[in-house]
Chains A and B, each alone.
Chain A
C-alpha cells in the first residue's frame, strides 16, 4: 500500500497547477446556474481551453484522441482542477464520461473519427437517451422501438430524464430492435444508436427539477430516421455496449465531487465559526464526523483507482457501487448540515449552498437508485440469490 505519488505524477501535478493558476483568471463570469444555454457556452469554452492545453480526454486512449494517462494521473487531474475551483465538466458530462468512452471502446474507426474529436474540442454536446417512463432503474425494460427501413432505423417512442437534451447535438439512444419474447429476454434486443438531435420527429420538452433547473427533459420520438451507420456495436448488443458506459459512470464520475465536498465542509466550518453556530456541540460533532466520512471516501476513491490501474483496464470495478451508495448519502448529509449552519440563510435560493442542497436530493436516485445499488451489491458482490 503506497499513497505517495511518483516523481512523474508529481511533475504532472505541478504542471497542471501552474496551468490552472494561469488560466482560471482568464475565464468569463459564470452563468446563472439555471441558464442552460449560457452554461453550455461556458462549459464548452472551458473544454476548449483544456483541449488546447492538452488536458482534454486525459484518460482516453491515445488512438481515441486522448493522452492515455494512467488512472492515477486522471485522479490527480480531477483533484487539482476541483481544488483550484475550475469549472465542472457540466454540459459535457455525457459526451466525456458516457458516450465518448463507449464510442472509444466499441465504435468503428470511422465512428471514432467522426464523434470523438468534437467532444474533446468542446464543439458538440451529447445527451443521454436511456430512461423511459416505464424503464428507469429497470433500464432493460425500455420500449422505444426501432425498425430497419433501407439504410435507416426508424425510431418511435419516448424518453425521460434525458440530461442536457435542451442543448445537445447528439443523443446516445437505446432502442429496442427485437421485441421481448420467450426467445429474446429483455436484456437482449436492445441497440445503441447515435441520434442527431436536429433530426425531424424529435420533440424535447424540458422538465423543471425541484431546484428550478431544466437540466433534463422528456423527449418524444415520432418516426425519427437514424442512419444504420450510426449504430455503435452490433444490432441487439446494446445492453453490453451500455454496461461499458455505466461502469464509467459509477466509478470515476464522482471523483471531483468528493474533493468538492471536502472543500465545502471546510467552508461550512469557517462559516459556523463566524456566525456563532460553532458553539453548538451537536453541530460541531456532526461536521467532525463528516470530516471522517469524506476523508474515507477520498481514500476509497484512491483504492478503486489503484484497483483499476492494477487490472490494467482503466475501467473501475464493481466497487463503484459501494462508493456511490455511501457517497450519495454523505453528500445529502453534508448539505443538511449546511442548512443547520446557515440557519435562515438556508432558505435563501440565492445562496449557492441552497441550490446544492436541493440538487443533492437527486444523488440517491440518478444513475441507479440507492435501492437498486444495494441489490447490485448484494447480488453481484455478495452473491445473494436474485429475488424480491
Chain B
C-alpha cells in the first residue's frame, strides 16, 4: 500500500495546473464573468478556442486508450485533472464531454462540445453540439452561476442520468469527477481565505492572528483534506459506495469552504469583485448536478 501520489501523478497535476492557470487564470475568469450588472441576463458563451486547446493538451482524451489516440490513463489521473479544473472554475460541460470522448466524434479533441442531463439539470445546453440523453422539454432557467447556463428537464426524466449512464458506472464516474472539481474548489477557497487573513489588518494586526478567524481557516483545511482522501480513494477503488461518500463530503467541503471564505473576506466577500461568490455558486451547481446528499446518505445507510 502506498496511498500517495506517484511522481507521474504529481507531474500530471502540476502540468494541468500550469496549463489552466496560464490559459484560464484569475483575469480570464473575471473577464468571462463580466461586470455582473443588476440585469444579469447575459448568457455566457463557451470559449471554443479554450475548449480546443484543452483537447490538444489531452484533457478530454485522458482516459481514451492510446490505441484510439488517447492518453490511456486511469480514473485517478482524471480526478487529479478535474481537481485542477475545479480550482480555477473552468467553465463548460467538462464532465459530459470527458465521458463522451470515446463515443462521440470530436469530443476528445475538444471540437465537439457534449452535454447531458444530470440530476434534472442540463448545463450549457445551447452551447453544446451534442446532448446525450433525453433533453426534450428542457426549460431554461436563469442560472445562479454566471458561468454555467442551466436548463431544467421535466420531472419525469429520472433525477439521475440518461439511460446510457443510469445507475451504471457512468453515473458514478460523473459523480466522482464532479466531486474532484468540488475538491479543487474547496482547496482553493481555503487558500484564498488564508491569504486574505494574512494580508488584511484590523485592530493593528492581521485578522489571521485572531483565533476566531484561525479556527474558520483550520476547519476549511480539515474539510478539504478529508474530501481529498475520500475522492482519491474512490478514484483508486472505483467503488460505487465510496464514490457516493466522496461526492457527499466533497459537496459539503466546497459549499462550506466557500461560505467560510466569504465570511473571512468580510464585506469584500459580499461583493461581485471578490471571486468567492463564484466558487460558492459553482459549488451549488455541482452539488445539484450530481447525486444529492440525501440519496448518497440513503445509499450509504443501506449498505451498513
Q: Tell me the A residues contacting B by CB distance below 8 Å.
A: 1-6, 9, 72, 75, 265-266, 268-269, 281, 284-289, 291-293, 295-297, 299-300, 302-303, 305-307, 309-310, 319, 322, 325-326, 371, 373-375, 377-379, 381-388
- Given A287-B301, A291-B303, A309-B2: A371 touches B226 (CB 8 Å cut-off): no
B229 at the interface (CB under 8 A from A): yes
12 contacting pairs across A/B (C-beta < 8 A): A2-B1, A3-B236, A3-B237, A281-B298, A284-B297, A299-B233, A302-B229, A306-B3, A319-B225, A375-B215, A378-B208, A384-B214
Chain A interface, >50% SS class: helix
Partner of B304 from A269, A281, A303 at Cβ < 8 Å:
A269
Chain B interface, >50% SS class: helix
Instruction: Tell me the complex Cα distance, A303–B245, Å.
Output: 17
B290-302 CB mask vs A (1 if < 8 Å, else 0) is 0000101111111
In the complex the two chains form, is B198's CB within 8 Å of A374's CB? Answer: no
- Given A285-B294, A296-B245: A3 touches B211 (CB 8 Å cut-off): no
In the complex the two chains form, is B294's CB within 8 Å of A292's CB? Answer: no
In the complex the two chains form, is A383's CB within 8 Å of B198's CB? Answer: yes
In the complex the two chains form, is A288's CB within 8 Å of B297's CB? Answer: yes
Instruction: Tell me the complex Cα distance, A19–B244, Å.
Output: 36
B217 at the interface (CB under 8 A from A): yes
Instruction: Tell me the complex Cα distance, A75–B3, Å.
Output: 13
B105 at the interface (CB under 8 A from A): no
In the complex the two chains form, is A307's CB within 8 Å of B4's CB? Answer: yes
A291: chain B residues at CB < 8 Å are 245, 300-301, 303-304
State how many angstroms separate the Cβ of A258 from the closest Cβ of chain B.
12
- Given A374-B215, A382-B218: A1 touches B206 (CB 8 Å cut-off): no
State how many angstroms separate the Cβ of B23 from the closest Cβ of chain A.
27
Instruction: Tell me the complex Cα distance, A322–B222, Å.
Output: 6
Q: Of residues 30 to 80 in B, which have CB atoms within 8 Å of A's CB atoms?
A: 76
In the complex the two chains form, is A371's CB within 8 Å of B3's CB? Answer: no
A387: chain B residues at CB < 8 Å are 205-206, 208-211
Instruction: Tell me the complex Cα distance, A9–B2, Å.
Output: 12
- Given A1-B5, A387-B209: A374 touches B219 (CB 8 Å cut-off): yes
In the complex the two chains form, is A1's CB within 8 Å of B6's CB? Answer: yes
A371: chain B residues at CB < 8 Å are 211, 215
State how many angstroms separate the Cβ of A286 from the closest Cβ of chain B.
8
B85 at the interface (CB under 8 A from A): no
B248 at the interface (CB under 8 A from A): yes
B221 at the interface (CB under 8 A from A): yes
Q: Of residues 193 to 229 in B, which have CB atoms within 8 Å of A's CB atoms?
A: 194, 197-198, 205-206, 208-211, 213-215, 217-219, 221-222, 225-227, 229
- Given A1-B232, A5-B1: A375 touches B211 (CB 8 Å cut-off): yes
State how many angstroms separate the Cβ of B290 from the closest Cβ of chain A.
14
Q: Beyond A374-B211, A388-B210: 13 further Cβ-contacts under 8 Å?
A: A1-B3, A3-B233, A3-B236, A285-B301, A287-B304, A299-B3, A302-B3, A302-B233, A326-B226, A374-B215, A379-B214, A388-B209, A388-B211
- Given A285-B294, A300-B229, A377-B221: A384 touches B3 (CB 8 Å cut-off): no
In the complex the two chains form, is A322's CB within 8 Å of B225's CB? Answer: yes
B271 at the interface (CB under 8 A from A): no
The chain B residue sitting closest to A307, CB to CB, is B4
- Given A322-B222, A387-B205: A72 touches B215 (CB 8 Å cut-off): no
- Given A292-B230, A299-B230, A381-B221: A386 touches B304 (CB 8 Å cut-off): no
State how many angstroms separate the Cβ of A380 from the closest Cβ of chain B.
10
The chain A residue sitting closest to B229, CB to CB, is A299
A319: chain B residues at CB < 8 Å are 225
B235: chain A residues at CB < 8 Å are 1
Instruction: Tell me the complex Cα distance, A300–B296, Å.
Output: 20
Q: Tell me the B residues contacting A by CB distance below 8 Å.
A: 1-6, 9, 76, 190, 194, 197-198, 205-206, 208-211, 213-215, 217-219, 221-222, 225-227, 229-230, 232-233, 235-237, 242, 244-246, 248-249, 294, 296-304
Instruction: Tell me the complex Cα distance, A371–B219, Å.
Output: 11
Instruction: Tell me the complex Cα distance, A307–B214, Å.
Output: 25
A286: chain B residues at CB < 8 Å are 297
- Given A284-B301, A285-B297, A385-B208: A378 touches B214 (CB 8 Å cut-off): yes
In the complex the two chains form, is B304's CB within 8 Å of A296's CB? Answer: no
The chain B residue sitting closest to A370, CB to CB, is B215
B298: chain A residues at CB < 8 Å are 281, 284-285, 288
State how many angstroms separate the Cβ of B183 from the closest Cβ of chain A.
12
Partner of A377 from B2, B205, B218, B236 at Cβ < 8 Å:
B218
State how many angstroms separate the Cβ of A388 from the closest Cβ of chain B.
6
Instruction: Tell me the complex Cα distance, A386–B210, Å.
Output: 8
In the complex the two chains form, is A292's CB within 8 Å of B218's CB? Answer: no
A388: chain B residues at CB < 8 Å are 209-211
A9: chain B residues at CB < 8 Å are 1
The chain B residue sitting closest to A375, CB to CB, is B214
Partner of A296 from B208, B249, B299 at Cβ < 8 Å:
B249
B236: chain A residues at CB < 8 Å are 1-3
Instruction: Tell me the complex Cα distance, A381–B211, Å.
Output: 15
State how many angstroms separate the Cβ of A9 from the closest Cβ of chain B.
7
Which of B235, B245, B294 counts the most A-chain CB atoms under 10 A from its CB? Answer: B245
State how many angstroms separate the Cβ of A76 from the closest Cβ of chain B.
9
Which of B3, B4, B210, B230 counts the most A-chain CB atoms under 10 A from its CB? Answer: B3
In the complex the two chains form, is B194's CB within 8 Å of A383's CB? Answer: yes
Partner of B222 from A288, A295, A326, A386 at Cβ < 8 Å:
A326
Instruction: Tell me the complex Cα distance, A269–B297, Å.
Output: 13
The chain B residue sitting closest to A269, CB to CB, is B304
Instruction: Tell me the complex Cα distance, A275–B218, Å.
Output: 40
B230: chain A residues at CB < 8 Å are 292, 295-296, 299
In the complex the two chains form, is A289's CB within 8 Å of B297's CB? Answer: yes
State how many angstroms separate the Cβ of A301 from the closest Cβ of chain B.
9
